[in-house]
Amino acid sequence: MRARTPDQTSTARTVGRNAQLLRTARGWPQQEGAARSAGGPCPLPLTAVRDIEAGQGSRGSRRAVSVDELVALAAVFGVAVERLLVEAASGGGGS
């Protein structure tokens, strides 16, 4: 029997929820997250931040998170990439 692995959609939802928790724990609007990514290697426009947190694209389709976006989000929040990939048990703080 094969071990069950999370699908891309559930992983993207987890990343989106964790990004939203981290952002709101800091009291930032979505615009702040986008602005803080501007100087990095993968700037995230506001629409990308919104779509990632919602887990879907602007047309209602499922929204995957690229590796570059994942690394950019981790840099914005000052956390390890793993923090965004693991389902949060509570709150939005910590690394």
Residues 6+ apart with CB under 8 A from 65: 11, 12, 15, 16, 52, 73
The pLDDT of 4-16, averaged and rounded, is 76
pTM reported for the whole predicted model: 0.81
Do 21 and 88 form a contact (C-beta atoms < 8 A)? yes
Q: Is the pLDDT assigned to residue 25 strictly greater than 60?
A: yes
SS3 of 54-92: HCECCCCCECCCCHHHHHHHHHHHCCCHHHHHCCCCCCC
Q: What is the pLDDT of residues 38-92, one digit of tens each?
A: 988 899 999 999 999 998 877 777 889 999 999 999 999 999 999 999 987 654 4
Q: What is the pLDDT of residue 39?
A: 87
CA gyration radius for the chain? Answer: 13
Do 64 and 8 form a contact (C-beta atoms < 8 A)? yes
Do 45 and 34 form a contact (C-beta atoms < 8 A)? yes
Q: Is the pLDDT assigned to residue 7 strictly greater than 80?
A: no
pLDDT band for position 8 (cuts 50, 70, 90): low
Q: Is the pLDDT assigned to residue 95 strictly greater than 60?
A: no
